[in-house]
Structure 1
Amino acid sequence: MEKTTFKATINAPREKVWEVLWGDNSYPQWTAPFAEGSKVETNWEKGSKVLFLDSKSNSGMVARIADKVPNEFMSFQHLGEVYNGVEDLTSDKVKAWAGAYENYTLTNVNGKTELLVEMDLADEFKDYFNKAWPLALDKVKELSEQQ
């Protein structure tokens, strides 16, 4: 796996960007480029389980919140996949990438927020994420800059 980064500069305070990233109403909006109707199930506490799911088949990813510093940093450690509501943490397919991290860092730069997303990414997913992340970050920017 290779660490891949995506970045956006947003004309809004970190607190606003944080709320857009993890808010109940905004999360499905900015994650639509990955899967229309995306949803997340978690209590957002450090160490907690996270289910990133689609709206059609209740399928997606299982992770845990590895670290959290409100308004500054969120780290997810991916543990497995979910298929039709059933978690897979042990198959060979999952073991090939389990343990990968996805980190979000928010930094104040000249009154704006720089959002840096770092992912451990397998070659087979690079094209997908290289297309989806710019669209997702554009939506985070749009939602965060709304008054």
Structure 2
Amino acid sequence: MPLLNFETEINATREKVWDTLWQEESFKAWAPTLNCSYYEGNFQQDSKIYFFGEDRNGMYSFVEKNIPEKEMKFQHLGWINDGEESPQDWENSWETYLLEESSNGTQLKIEVNALDEFADFFSSNYPNMIQKVKELAES
């Protein structure tokens, strides 16, 4: 299970980057880079969040940590097929978004503990996602 790291410098405040990542309208603007169209639920710590594609299929995760404007961590749980949860044995598969102040604004770091079968997806799609978040936050 590879640990993948992605990061970029964003010329915006941590608050603006955080809002770009997690507010519903801006999420819908960058999420298609990850084959996601929208989410249902909320990002409260210790809750489930559901990420859907246009076909209403997707995945669901547990919000393990939510420290506003600093850190969001998801533990991935399983697929959603035809509106039904399909739990998977994805133990230790997680994703963390870290925001740190920097001299030019905010350093966005994303760490993904990826299952081997998803490593190529993350490696090829996350650079595009980070670039889109950067563009949105800086506009």
State the TM-score bracket (shorter-chain normalisation). over 0.9
Q: How many residues align?
A: 139
**Root mean square deviation, CA, Å:** 1.2
Report matched runs for 1:50-129 at 5 Å: 50-56=49-55, 58-89=56-87, 94-95=88-89, 97-129=90-122
Distance 1:109 1:71 in 2: 13
In structure 1, how many angstroms separate the alpha carbons of the residues matched to 2:86 and 2:92? 13
Identity of aligned residues (%): 36
CA distance in 2 between counterparts of 1:62 and 1:25 reads 19
- The answer on whether the counterparts of 1:50 and 1:63 sit within 8 Å (CA) in structure 2 is yes
* Cα displacement string for residues 115-147 of structure 1 (whole angstroms, at most 9, x for unaligned residues): 00111112222222111111111110000001x
Structure 2 unaligned residues grouped into runs of 5+: none
1:8 is aligned to 8
Q: Residue in 1 aligned with 2:128?
A: 135
Distance in 1 (alpha carbons) for counterparts of 2:73 and 2:118: 19
**Hey, which bits of structure 1, 4+ residues long, moved more than 2 A?**
none
Counterpart-to-counterpart distance in 1, 2:115 and 2:65 = 22
Q: CA deviation at 1:71?
A: 0.4
1:39 aligns with 2:32: no
> Contact 1:80–1:98 at 8 Å: present in 2 too?
no
Q: CA deviation at 1:16?
A: 0.1
Q: Deviations over 1:44-74 (max 9, x none)?
A: 2110110011112x11111111011100000
Q: Relative to structure 1, is the Cα distance of residues 99 and 59 closer, same or farther in structure 2, using a 3 angstrom cutoff?
A: farther
AA in 1 matched with 2:121? Y
Runs (5+) with no aligned partner, structure 1: none
Distance 1:86 1:3 in 2: 29
Q: Which amino acid aligns with 1:52?
A: F
What displacement does 1:99 show? 3.9
Q: 1:43, CA displacement in angstroms?
A: 2.1
Aligned to 1:24: 24
